[in-house]
Structures are given as C-alpha cells and as structure tokens.
Amino acid sequence: MEIELVSREIIKPSSPTPSHLRIYPLSFIDNMFVCNVPLLFFYNPNESSDQDSKISQLKKSLSHLLSKYYIFSGRLKDKITIECNDQGVPFLVTKIKSKLSHLLEHPEENFLNHLFADGLQWKDGDPSSAFIAIQINCFECGGIAISICMNHKCGDASTFITFMREWAIINKKLEEEKGEESVILPFPLHEGGSSIFPQKNLPILPESVHNRQKNVACKRFVFQPSIIKFLKELATSSSVLFPSRVLVVKAWIYKHAVSSIGLDFKTLPFLMAVDLRKRMVPPLSENCVGNIIWFSSMFADKEEMELKDLVCKIKQGLSEFCDTYPKLFGGNNFSLLSEFMNKAIDLKSKTRDVIGFSSWCNFPIYEVDFGWGKPTWVTTCGSPWKNFIILMDRKDGKGIDAIVSLEENHMTKFEHEYLELL
C-alpha cells in the first residue's frame, strides 16, 4: 500500500491556559513512565461529509479539547512537572492508495506501523516533544484511520480513551450544529494523578526506559467467544465458579507463553497493570487524568499448574492487591509510602523477567463516534519488548484480541499451541 504525507501542522488550544494552571505537577506514578502508547481507530466510509471537511472539523474540535486538556499541549519542564505553555500537538494527514477494506481483511503489522505519526509508537518520549501526536490516514474509498500516540507520563489507557471520547463528543457537536460558537466542553477536567498521588518528598521512581529489543516478534491472536467459552469451562473450579473472559485469556496466554519460553511459573512471574480508580476508597471518577494504576503480580509456588489453578492464583493475587494498595495510596501516611517507594526502587533494580499484561478490555473504545458512526475496528500495534501482552475487546464486546510480543524463536512454539487450541 502506498502512503503519502499530505500535510503536517501544529494544533494549539482554542483559548490560552490560565496563568494559575501553567505548572502541572506529575504524580509519583506518572514519573516512572516515559514511552509513547499508540492507539488506532478505523472508520468505514460514509456520506456525511467528504474527507477534507472531516479533517477541517477534527482540527477545530481538537483545538477546543486541548483548551481543557491543557496538559497535553505543554512540554516537560523538569522530571516532575509539566509547563502548560500551549505549544500544541502535531497533526499529520496522509493519503493511502488503497481501500480500507483491503487492510482490514489482512491487517499486517508492518503496514499498521506506518499509520502513526513519525514512528513514535512505543518509543520513549523526547523531553522537548509534544505529549501527543495525531495522524489522520485517508483511504481512497473514503475510509479514515485516526492514530494517536500519547506519552505515558500524561496518563494511562483510561486517560487515553477518555480523551478520545471527549474529542469525538465535541466533533460530533460541531458536525451537528455546523458551527463552533456554541461549543461547550462536555466535562470539567478531573485532575487525577498529581492531586491523588503527590510526589512531595517521596523518592522519585526510576523511569521505565525501554530499549527496542532485537529478535522480538509481535503477532495478533483472536480469541473468539466460542474459544473463550471453552476456556471458561476448563478454568471453572470450586474456588472460581464464574471466571471472567479476560481472566481466562490472561491465564491461558501466561501458561503457554511460559511453556514456549521453556521456563516454569516459579522462574517467570505474572505481572499485570491494574486501574485503581474504582478500587480507591472512595472510588475516583473514571475521567481522572493521569496514571491511576499499579501492578499486581503472581508468584507461583509450583513449577507447573493447570489452567484452573492459574486462574485461581491470579484472581487471589488481584484480591490481595486490592486489599493493600488502594489503602496504601489512599492514605496520607507518607513515611509508610516513602518506605514502600524505596523498596520498589530496590526491587526494580533487581527485576527479573516477567510476563507482563495490560488489559484494555471493557473500556468504551467502540463508542468513539466523531459523527460518522462508530469505529469498525480499534487496535494498537505490537510493542518491541519481549514477553508483553495487550488485550483489547473485539467489536462484538465478547471476543478478545491479544497483541503478543515474544522472542521470535518462542513465538513459533506459542503460535503452534494457539493453533492447537483452535
């Protein structure tokens, strides 16, 4: 597929950031992240307006949204603060000499990578660069793919998807009213990380710098509802009577990734990111901006385990996590937090390999409607880090896409085990 860069510009907020909001402190969790997280929305062609009109509208609505998400238009001031100076964000437009349907029939990872601005996906952010970068990819059939890379310092997957939903809401309002004078931002900004997890005098967690690793293969595996139903039957036990679809897919991937690598559960632990918003006491708004996450782990006491035992162990680990970390982070006992942070830094320096998961399931990614209908597919691209898995809903809300990154020689065996499951 041929892809041509048509334009590049900087979109700035429609109104300047007030002086009292110019300095935004990062939280002690924000400070540990540095990479650019990619997300990609595909929209089928429709007759509501031509591509040029849609692009013009997207620029206006993004400008309005950036007045609210003023953090995203700023730049890093130092390691622990953002200067909200309204410098804006890159906005690129491309034309692709192919039909969207052709790509969706055979979504090749190599081509998906070209749909992101400046190859920023999963790269560590440059301190002098914008926090988000957007690329609008226009197919000759009229279809559009909107890609966005967001610096993880600004927030987690929940922040990312809330941003996209609110952009779509504003754009749809402009589309319906054919003007911008009456646009009112739909919600106030819910500052999250810095107000809930202030850095204060806590030790600064070291950034998770990720070097692109050689010989890593990234592949997408589809878990259809019928396969998930089968896995649930295998995983059901007296301890876990109704395992969730996400839990059984995580457990199956973990089990077979460990097997493919040739290690065991005691030497290759399970790690997953957990959204703290609904688990804090009292619960936080789903719209809180920032990294409101921490990591639940599972250290097995056996070298080999059946799927139902892994499901039980992972669920138990999450329960213990929820009993501990929201209370720790929600309290104001900074001496205890400081002790915890120092231990976390010490543990990070000694970290061994893990199988890491980030689940974006159950987020409303298919509700991002800019006025041309809901997306036909939402995905990300594979990361260049070994032993890392992202889970995303399929459009039906029942199936799951797993984007798996393993070393090439391990991926071959994992694929074989997946095909046996089918």
Residue 335 DSSP one-character state: H
Selecting among 30, 124, 152, 309, the annotated active-site residue is: 152
Which residue type does 274 have?
V
**Which residue is associated with the tokens 């918003």?**
277
* 78 belongs to the catalytic site: no
- How far apart, in whole angstroms, are the C-alpha atoms of residue 342 and residue 205? 8
Which residue type does 416 have?
H
C-alpha to C-alpha distances, 257 to 78, 204, 305, 388, 410, nearest whole angstrom: 39, 33, 13, 10, 8
**Helix residue ranges, H only, 180-264:** 193-196, 225-235, 245-261
Give kind and range of the element (H or E) at residue 402.
strand 400-407
Read off the tokens for 86. 């309204």
C-alpha to C-alpha distances, 395 to 133, 161, 227, 284, nearest whole angstrom: 25, 15, 16, 27
Which residue type does 310 have?
L
C-alpha to C-alpha distances, 329 to 36, 228, 378, nearest whole angstrom: 25, 34, 32
Read off the tokens for 174. 């402009």
> What distance lies between CA 207 and its chain's CA centroid?
17
- How far apart, in whole angstroms, are the C-alpha atoms of residue 235 and residue 190? 39
All residues at 6 or more sequence positions from 122 whose CB lies less than 8 Å from its CB, including other chains: 35, 36, 37, 38, 210, 212, 381, 383, 384, 385
* 152 belongs to the catalytic site: yes
- How far apart, in whole angstroms, are the C-alpha atoms of residue 131 and residue 73? 7
The residues pairing with 161 across neighbouring beta strands, listed in sequence order, are none
Which residue type does 389 have?
I
C-alpha to C-alpha distances, 403 to 250, 289, 342, 422, nearest whole angstrom: 12, 25, 33, 17
Read off the tokens for 170. 């504003």
- The count of other CB atoms within 10 Å of the CB of residue 282 is 5
Could you give the residue numbers annotated as active site?
152, 369
